[in-house]
Amino acid sequence: MSDKLEISNPPEYAAGLKAVKYALGNIFHVMPKGKALYVLNRLNQKDGVDCPGCAWPDPDHRSRLGEYCENGVKAIAEEAMSARVDPAFFAKYSVHDLKNKSDYWLGQQGRLTHPMIVRQGKDHYEPITWDEANKLIGEHLQELPDPNMAAFYTSGRTSNEAAFLYQLFVRMYGTNNLPDCSNMCHESSGVALTRTTGIGKGSVTLDDLYKAELILIFGQNPATNHPRMLSALEKAKSNGAKIVSINPLKEAGLVRFKNPQKLNGIIGNGTEISDLYLQLKINEDVALLKAVMIKLLKMADERPGIIDKDFITAKTDGYEKLRADLENYDLQSLIERTGLEEREIDHLVDLLANHRRIIACWGMGLTQHVNGVDNIQEVVNVLLLKGAIGKEGAGTCPVRGHSNVQGDRTVGIAERPSKALLDKIAENFGFVPPQEHGLDVVSTIEAMHSGKVKVFIGMGGNFLSAAPDTDFTAEAFAKTDLTVHISTKLNRSHLEHGKTALILPSMGRTDKYERNGKQMVLSVENSMGIVHSTKGVLEPPSKEVRSEPVIVAEIAKAALTESKVDWDHLVDDYDNIRELIEKTIGGFENYNERLKKPLGFELPNGARIGEFNTPNKKANFTVNKLSENNMLDEDFLMMTTRSHDQFNTTIYGLNDRYRGIENGRMVVFINPNDANRLGLKKGDLVSLYNNYNGVERKVDGFAVVPYNIPEKCLGTYYPESNPLVPIHLKAHSSHTPASKSVKVRITKL
Ligand SMILES: Nc1nc2c(c(=O)[nH]1)N[C@H]1C(S)=C(S)[C@@H](COP(=O)(O)OP(=O)(O)OC[C@H]3O[C@@H](n4cnc5c(=O)[nH]c(N)nc54)[C@H](O)[C@@H]3O)O[C@H]1N2
Ligand SMILES: Nc1nc2c(c(=O)[nH]1)N[C@H]1C(S)=C(S)[C@@H](COP(=O)(O)OP(=O)(O)OC[C@H]3O[C@@H](n4cnc5c(=O)[nH]c(N)nc54)[C@H](O)[C@@H]3O)O[C@H]1N2
Ligand code: SF4
Ligand SMILES: [Mo]
């Protein structure tokens, strides 16, 4: 075991005063106190700066004491830290030197300040002017024989305004190659919900959550990833809701929450969150839900009222097929697969039978499997049986990740755009956008690897570390002619690069941008479809960093040989961009006016009001298959999750307080019986490896952590374990990498 790593018993609650202490300690360490408090006072306030962390919505009533969480503070610290990565830094460290540094170290070096280039054959980034950089990008793009030889990635922190301009430019250039972080995230939700409910987004609002009688939380770890969701769950509980968590791990925040804004959370015991905790095996959610439906339908034969027959008849399609299909399963084998006791499943069935206002929330634990789409469709089946979509206090709640990942999609970042969007673009902008579908994340990597994509541009994000099969993705980047990253912070995508590579330093959420004496306002959409403004409050890290819409406009001007769009006019005042969004995307009427409302405005959502915009205008039941993991005796199923001290590939620190881990990230959580069987003790170092289709993948140096996790299941952190996720292992239909069910074996080092 590494000398520093410490493993202890995980706590039985999340948050409390410790969270406040850690958060403030973290931010005061990297920036002056006064400046930190100045931003925090404006964080998530009406007319303030939207938290760059997750997409959890803000409540209508905001506490002036602070409307943010520990991880929101860490997100601000990471972005607004005083340290700088400037030309002197790049003169000191070669790319080779930087490759040997940890992700945590890279992040701690500070904000990027200047456009930088690494020229072919060189090992140092050197400064370049914006004009030269744009010219170089323009030349590369113009020289490609086919626009489909370029790919344009987006990460979900990008504002609506920047994203809209970006997709417009990309389509004018001639491709729909718009891979997006969604492809690795909630794409499975988008696909499943579009098919079943007619809208690729969740249907509930915060108010619904407060009114729900029963809330099911599948595959999500809110204490770390959406901490303020715990306050909403606390409120739902105080209104009488029951909560069920379905998760292989007993996540502390789902057990008990001590709200640091309340006396009971500071000196009391806090609130018990889950009434029932189902610790099922990884990737057995479909088996669980089938068992639940078989039991529920059987019960309904005696008590017909427990399913909503009227709703099923009036609003849905496919009920009979679902019933017929369930006949094919043996209940006991389904139960056995889940690893749960039958009485635990009966408890869930009883709760479902006896409540009507039901909400299902979920995260990456459902989406990142080969059967990710099936998982979500099966959740929808249960809700539809109960008539629990399209009414108050009930519905679907995929909890989105990045703060504007949903908005980016809404305003047109889509590699598989709808015909309606393309027609509208044609009508408004006087050109025929490409009609054929473009590349998503996985197919972009494959296309770079096979030489079909030669230029990669990333609007935010850290494609290399976020993507599966890290070594393969690094090879793919190395085969391109040019990689360009529009970034706030240094990351590994800058280090595994194309023959020529550019870093374009961007402003972040906290940076204030004024033009012609007027502050530019940006807008974002949260996980529940509310669009609102966000205004930076801090001096940007250098005079050279640019606002994202400006960066896009300048690239567009350099790359497009002809354009009917006046890019300068658009970025002269971001109101002008919003006028175009209003003309192109439904639901944005009076965008500029409504954005001035303190709470923003709600986008239309058919499923929310019981209107299902599917081709048959019904909500659709679906028939889904069980997962097929084809495990052999020595195989384990590994999920890759986040620690409490990270935001995706950004590592805030080396602890995972809620799982008892300190000072290390190279750990593997394993059931104590499995560890014993393999002769492994706490702290032993092991290799994890696998062999898919004859290709061996291996990562050395994980420390064993015997943990409360079902047998044959393992947990590791992403991105360290991404080299083990095979590029081809992805969800049907959504193509989301199956990074929560990777087969691996263990050997002791
Ligand atoms: N602080 C912080 N906040 C974040 C992020 C971050 O990295 N750090 N990332 C943001 C982003 S982009 C996203 S998408 C979200 C992610 O938020 P989450 O969806 O919470 O993401 P993960 O950490 O991957 O956790 C997945 C959960 O699913 C469980 N799980 C794994 N496999 C299964 C399974 O087969 N079935 C079930 N039922 N459960 C399973 C795991 O035990 C874990 O609790 O958070 C966002 N917010
Ligand atoms: N194995 C495994 N892999 C996964 C996942 C998993 O659970 N397991 N989760 C997947 C998920 S859900 C997601 S969403 C992806 C995340 O994939 P990405 O969105 O690509 O990754 P991030 O780590 O969020 O990106 C961080 C970088 O974004 C840049 N950045 C931050 N803020 C800004 C900004 O305001 N503007 C600009 N221009 N740049 C900015 C910084 O340079 C920073 O280094 O990873 C996926 N990969
Ligand atoms: S819950 Fe998410 S959006 Fe809210 S403060 Fe925390 S990290 Fe930021
Ligand atoms: Mo995500």
Quote the pLDDT of residue 474.
98
**Atom number, ligand 1, closest to the C-alpha of residue 54:** 47
Q: Whose CA is nearest to atom 3 of ligand 1?
A: 225
The predicted-structure confidence for 376-421, as pLDDT tens digits, reads as follows: 999 999 999 999 999 999 999 999 999 999 999 999 999 999 999 9
Q: Please tell me the distance from the alpha carbon of residue 76 to that of residue 404, in angstroms, as a whole number.
A: 16
CA 587/CA 592 separation, integer angstroms:
13
DSSP 458: E
Distance CA 179, CA 182 (A): 8
Span 87-97, average pLDDT: 98
- Kindly give the number of the ligand 2 atom that is closest to the alpha carbon of 185: 12
In the chain, pLDDT over 70 holds for what percent of residues? 99
pLDDT in tens, 618-658: 999 999 999 999 999 999 999 999 999 999 999 999 999 99
Pairing between β-strand 636-641 and β-strand 742-748 as defined by DSSP bridges: antiparallel
pLDDT, tens digit, 9 for 90 and up, residues 317-341: 999 999 999 999 999 999 999 999 9
pLDDT at 518: 96
In the reported structure, the alpha carbon of residue 282 is separated from the centroid of ligand 1 by a whole-number distance in angstroms of 13
Over residues 477-488, mean pLDDT:
98
For residue 347, report the distance from its CA to the centre of ligand 4, in Å: 31
DSSP helix/strand/coil, 243: strand
Q: Is residue 65 predicted with pLDDT exceeding 80?
A: no
pTM metric for this prediction: 0.98
650 CB under 6 A from ligand 2?
A: yes
Q: Give residue 3's pLDDT.
A: 65
Report which of residues 427 and 20 the model is more confident about: 427
* Mean pLDDT to the nearest integer, 174-196: 98
| Nearest Cα to Cα of residue 484 among 453, 525, 438 | 453
pLDDT at 2: 56
Nearest ligand atom owner, CA of 340: 1
Average pLDDT for the chain? 96
253 CB less than 6 Å from ligand 3? no
Mean pLDDT throughout 572-601?
97
CA of 413 to the centre of ligand 3 (A): 23
Say if residue 1's pLDDT is above 70: no
- Which pLDDT score, from 0 to 100, does residue 247 have? 98
For residue 429 and ligand 2, the question of a CB distance below 6 A is answered with: no
- Higher pLDDT residue, 193 or 14? 193
Q: Is residue 486 lining ligand 2, measured as CB closer than 6 Å?
A: yes
Residue 375 CA to ligand 3 center (angstroms) comes to: 26
Quick check: 357 and 212 in contact, CB under 8 A? yes
In the reported structure, the alpha carbon of residue 474 is separated from the centroid of ligand 3 by a whole-number distance in angstroms of: 32
- Structure token pair of residue 112: 């990027």
HEC per residue, 62-91:
CCCCCCCCHHHHHHHHHHHCCCEECHHHHH
Q: What is the pLDDT of residues 484-522, one digit of tens each?
A: 999 999 999 999 999 999 999 999 999 999 999 999 999
Mean pLDDT of 55-72: 87
485 lines ligand 2 (CB under 6 A): no
Three-state SS for 246? strand
pLDDT attached to residue 261: 81
Instruction: Give the pLDDT confidence score for residue 16 in this predicted structure.
Output: 79
68 lines ligand 3 (CB under 6 A): yes
Q: With a 6 A CB cut-off, is 228 part of the ligand 3 pocket? A: yes
DSSP, residue by residue, 389-421: SSSTT-EEEE---BTTHHHHHHTT--SS--HHH
The rounded Å distance from CA 209 to ligand 2 centre is: 28
36 C-alpha vs ligand 3 centroid, how far in Å? 16
- The continuous run of DSSP H or E covering 230 comes out as helix 229-238
| Token couple for 486 | 């529009």
Atom number of ligand 1 nearest to Cα 362: 19
Task: Please state the atom number of ligand 1 nearest to the C-alpha of residue 369.
Answer: 35
Could you give the percent of the chain with pLDDT greater than 90? Answer: 94
Q: Which atom of ligand 3 is nearest to the CA of 228?
A: 1
Q: pLDDT per residue over 665-694, tens digit each? A: 999 999 999 999 999 999 999 999 999 999
* Ligand 3 within 6 A of CB of 719: no
Virtual CA dihedral for 492, 494, 499, 503, nearest 10 degrees?
170
DSSP letter for 724, please: G
Establish whether residue 185 lines the binding site of ligand 1, counting it when its CB lies within 6 angstroms of any ligand atom: yes
pLDDT band, very low/low/confident/very high, at 267 (cuts 50, 70, 90):
confident
Buried b / exposed e along 619-633 (16+ C-beta atoms within 10 A): bbbbebebbebeeee
359, 214 in Cβ contact below 8 A?
A: yes
- 54 CA closest ligand 3 atom index: 2
**Does residue 493's CB lie within 6 angstroms of at least one atom of ligand 2?**
no
Q: Which of ligand 2's atoms lies nearest the C-alpha of 462?
A: 20
Q: Which ligand is nearest to the CA of 52?
A: 3
Instruction: Tell me which residues have their CB within 5 A of the ion that is ligand 4.
Output: 185, 401
Ligand number with the minimum distance to the CA of 718: 2
pLDDT in tens, 127-161: 999 999 999 999 999 999 999 999 999 999 999 99
- Give the domains, in start order, of the chain with CATH numbers: 6-80 (no CATH), 187-398 (3.40.228.10)
Chain length of the chain: 749
